[in-house]
Amino acid sequence: MNEFEALAQAVIKGDIKTAVAETQRALDGGSEAKSILDKGLIAAMDEVGDRYSKGLIFVPQMLRSAKTMQECMKLLQPLFQEGDVTSKGKVLIGTVKGDLHDIGKNLVGMMMGGAGFDITDLGVDIPPEKFVQKIQELEPDIVCMSALLSTTMPSMSRTIEAMQKAGVRDKVKVMIGGAPVTEKYAREIKADSYASDAGSAVSKAKELLGAL
Amino acid sequence: MKPIDIPTFQPQLKVLSREQALAIHTAALKILEEIGFKMEHPGALEMLANAGCQISDDWVRLPGHLVEEALSSAPRQIDLYDHKGKKAMPLTNGNHFYGTGSDATFTLDLETGERRRAILKDVANFAKLVDGLENIAFAMSMANPEDVPVEDIYVYVFAEMVKNTNKPIVFIADSGRDIAKIYKMACLVAGGEDKLRSKPFILNYSEAISPLHFPKNVMEKLIFCAKKKIPLCLPSGSNAGGGAPVTLAGAMALGIAENLAGLVVHQLAGKGSPFLFGPNVSVLDMKSTVVSYGCPEWSLTQAALADMRDEIYGLPIWAFAGASDAKVMDAQAGAEAMFSILSAMLSRCNLIHDVGFLEYGSTSSLEMVTMVNELVAMSRFFAEGIPVNNETLALEALERVISGGPGSIFLTDDHTFKYFMQAQFLPKLLDRSRYDSWEEAGATDLYKRCNIEARRILSEHQVEPKPAEVLQGIAGVLQGH
C-alpha cells in the first residue's frame, strides 16, 4: 500500500481530518476512486482488523478507524465507475421481534461496515414478515439476526421459517448472534452461521460469502 | 480492673464525598428533566402526564419534584421472609445479603467439569445448594434451561426454585403475562395474597434498557408489582461504554436517572410499595465487548451508590458480587470474586446477587457458589472489626501464662478454650493444612474441594418439602390452569 501509505496510516490512527485530506490529495493527483478504496482504505481496515484480533487495539479505536474510512468514502462514492465492486457483500441486520436491545447489533453492523460490507440496519423488534419483505426488496447476501433475551430467541427460528415459506431462504445466508444464542441453537434452527461476537461476525461473514 | 465498654467500630468503605454524591444526583435529575426518556407503556404515560410530566408521543420529561415525592413515599426498609413467613432479610442500613444470579446459558457440570447448556435440574440443584449454605441468603435461577417451553421459562424456573429452597427468591419474568402465573404460585406458597403481601418471600428483578428506554413489557411487570406490593428492583444495564457514557460518573448518573424514572412510575402505581434501588454499572470491556463481572469498576460504582444512599436516597440498594469473567474456577475467579464480595460488604450494599457466576455471567458453577459461601464468611469476619474490652484485651490470660512456669502456653489456657471459635475465622474449604497432610488428603485445589462439598450438600441436605396441596397447585399453574 505504498502510494497510499499516508492515507492508510491516517485511517489506522483514526485521524479523520488527515485521512480526508489524503483522499482528496490522491484524487487530485489522478488516482482512481476504486484504487484508493482497495489499496488505501480497505488495506488499512484489514490491518486494523488484524491488530484488533491480535488484541493490540481496542474496540473504540477500531470503530474510529471505520468512521474515518466512511468519511473518506463520501468523497469516493460519487466517483466509482459502473462495474466497480465496492462492497464485500450486502448485509441486512436487525434484532428479532420482541427484542429491543441493540448495542450488540449496532456493534456488529459497524464492524462489518468497517470491513467493507454494505450494511442495511433494519433496527430493533423486526417481525419475520419485515425481514422477508426487505430480503425481497434489497436482495442481500447475508441476513444477520440478533437477540439478547432467551425469550425472544424463538423469533429467530420463526423468521427463518417465514423466509422458507416466502421462498427466499435459499437466496441468502443467515447468521445469528446474541448473548443466549449458541452454535447448537444455530444448527437447530438451520441458520448458516453463528457468531459469538462482533469480530467473529466479520470473519464468519467473509467465510459465508467465500462459500457462496 | 475497670470494665471497658467500647462499641466495636465496623470497618467501612466510603468512595464519594457528599459534594460528589450531590453532583451525580443533580446530573440524574437533569437527565430526567431536560433530556427525558422513552416510555412505551400507555398506562405509565398516562400516570406520568397526570402527575405533571411533559410528554410528546412516548418521550417523557420528568420534573425533579416528582422524584422527591417518590423517594419520600417508598419504604426505607424492605423485609424479605422465608417461605414460612419468618423474617430472613431485613434490607436496611448496611445489612448485607448474598445470593445467586439468574439467566446463565451454561453451567459447569458437577460430574464432568464441562461447560454445557443448563437444564431445569440445574435450577433445582442451585436452589438446593443455596438452601444448604449458611452464608447464601437468597436464590435466583442461575439458569435459562433448554428443556422447558421457552415462553414459560421463568414460570418453570420459579416453580423449580420454590420446590428446592425455603429461602427468599429473586425472580425474573418476561411480561405481565408470566408474572401473573408466578404470582399465583407465590400466593400458594405463602398461603394467600394477604400473607404474601405482608410477608413477601419474593422480589422481582426487571430491567429497563439503557439509555433511557422503558419497554412496555418491563413496565407491565413494574406496575404489577407496585399494585400487589411485591418488592421489585429495576436496574438498567447502564454499563460504562455500553448502554452509558464510558466515564463512571456519567454511567452512574444515567443509571440512577433510569432508576428514579422507574421509581416515580412505581410509586404512582402503588404508593408505598417496596422498591429496591440501584442500577448495574459495570463496564463494557473494550476488547471483547462483554459486560464484565470481575472488573473493579462495578464494585466501585456500587460502593458509590451506597454512599449516595446514605447521603440522599435512603432506600435499600441492589448490588452484585462473587462473580468472575474467568471461564473456569481458577485463581482469576477467586481473586475477582473476593474483590467484589469484600468491597460490597465494606461499602454496606444490601441485596447482593450474582454469586457463583463465571464467564461474565454466562456460566454458572455450583463450586463457585460453594466457594463464595466461604469467602463471605471470611469477609464478614473482617467487616465485624475488633471487639475491644477486658476479655479481649486478655491481660489476665497473659498474666496466667507468664506466671504459670515452664510449659504454660496460651493454647492450654481457659481463655483460649473459651474464645478461640469467635476470636478467629475458622475456614472450612480454604486449606491451611501442613504440606504432608495436604498431599495425603489428595493434594486437592480449592475447585476440587468445593466440588466435593457441593456434592455432599446436594446429597445430604434436606430441603423442607412444600405441602402436597401447594405442589399440586404449582403443577396446576404449570399446566395452564
Looking at beta carbons, which residues of chain A come within 8 Å of B284?
103
Evaluate if residue B299 carries a pLDDT over 50: yes
Q: In whole angstroms, what is the distance from residue B329 CA to residue B446 CA?
A: 9
Q: How many CB atoms lie within 10 A of CB A29?
A: 8
**Cβ–Cβ below 8 Å for B151 and A100:** no
- Answer for the pair B233, B318: CB distance below 8 angstroms, yes or no: yes
The predicted pLDDT at position B481 comes to 66
B92 part of contact set with chain A, CB < 8 Å: no
Mean pLDDT of chain A: 92
Chain A: nearest CA to B480, how far in angstroms? 18
Cell numbers that stand for A114 in this block: 468497517
Instruction: Give the DSSP H/E element, type plus range, for residue B475.
Output: helix B468-478
Residues on A contacting B at a C-beta cutoff of 8 Å:
55, 58-60, 100-101, 103-104, 107, 149-151, 153-154, 179-180, 182, 184, 197-198
The predicted pLDDT at position A212 comes to 45
Phi, psi of B47 (to 5 degrees): -60, -45
**Cβ–Cβ below 8 Å for B105 and A150:** yes
B147 part of contact set with chain A, CB < 8 Å: no
Non-local (6+) Cβ contacts of A129 within 8 A are A162
Domains within chain B, CATH numbers bracketed: 72-383+470-478 (3.20.20.480), 394-423 (no CATH)
Of residues B3 and A5, the one with the higher pLDDT is A5
Three-class DSSP category at B138: strand
The predicted pLDDT at position A199 comes to 82
Q: pLDDT by residue (tens digit) across B267-292? A: 999 999 999 999 999 999 999 999 99
pTM value?
0.93
Average pLDDT over residues B260-272: 98
Q: pLDDT by residue (tens digit) across B340-363? A: 999 999 999 999 999 999 999 999
Looking at beta carbons, which residues of chain B come within 8 Å of A100?
209, 213, 215
Cell numbers that stand for B305 in this block: 451508590
Average pLDDT over residues B401-416: 93
Phi, psi of B24 (to 5 degrees): -70, -40
Picking from B4, B16, B95, the residue whose alpha carbon sits closest to that of residue B383 is B95
Chain B: nearest CA to A2, how far in angstroms? 29
**pLDDT-based confidence at residue B232 (cuts at 50, 70, 90):** very high
Domain boundary assignment for chain A: 2-79, 90-210
Non-local (6+) Cβ contacts of B248 within 8 A are B240, B281, B297, B300, B301, B304
Cell numbers that stand for B265 in this block: 412510575
Of residues B73 and A79, the one with the higher pLDDT is B73
Residue written as grid cell 496460651: B410
Three-class DSSP category at B91: strand
**Into which CATH architecture does domain A2-79 fall?**
Orthogonal Bundle (1.10)
Three-class DSSP category at A177: strand
DSSP string, B382-419: HHT----SHHHH-HHHHHHHHHT-TT--GGGSHHHHHH
Residue written as grid cell 402503588: B270
Looking at beta carbons, which residues of chain B come within 8 Å of A182?
105, 117
**A55: nearest CA in chain B?**
B287
Picking from A6, A44, A43, the residue whose alpha carbon sits closest to that of residue A22 is A6
Distances (CA, A) of B345 to B133, B154, B349, B372, B384: 18, 30, 6, 13, 10
Average pLDDT over residues A135-151: 93
The predicted pLDDT at position A49 comes to 87
The predicted pLDDT at position B474 comes to 97
Phi, psi of A90 (to 5 degrees): -95, 130
Q: Does domain A90-210 have CATH number 3.40.50.720?
A: no
Q: Which of B105, B144, B286 sits opposite A59 (nearest CB)?
A: B286
> What are the residues facing B116 on neighbouring strands?
B107
**pLDDT-based confidence at residue A1 (cuts at 50, 70, 90):** very low
**pLDDT-based confidence at residue B406 (cuts at 50, 70, 90):** confident
Average pLDDT over residues A111-130: 92
| B145 Ramachandran zone, left/alpha/beta (phi>0; psi -120 to 50) | beta
The predicted pLDDT at position B137 comes to 98
Average pLDDT over residues B146-161: 95
B105 part of contact set with chain A, CB < 8 Å: yes
- Answer for the pair A128, A143: CB distance below 8 angstroms, yes or no: no
- Answer for the pair B282, B239: CB distance below 8 angstroms, yes or no: yes
The predicted pLDDT at position A200 comes to 87
DSSP H stretches of helix in B105-175 = 120-132, 153-164
The predicted pLDDT at position B1 comes to 59
Q: In whole angstroms, what is the distance from residue A117 CA to residue A43 CA?
A: 14
**Which CB contacts under 8 angstroms, 24+ apart, belong to B419-423?**
B419/B391, B419/B392, B423/B392
**pLDDT-based confidence at residue A111 (cuts at 50, 70, 90):** confident
CA A97 from centre of chain: 21
Rg value, chain B, Cα: 24
The predicted pLDDT at position B480 comes to 84
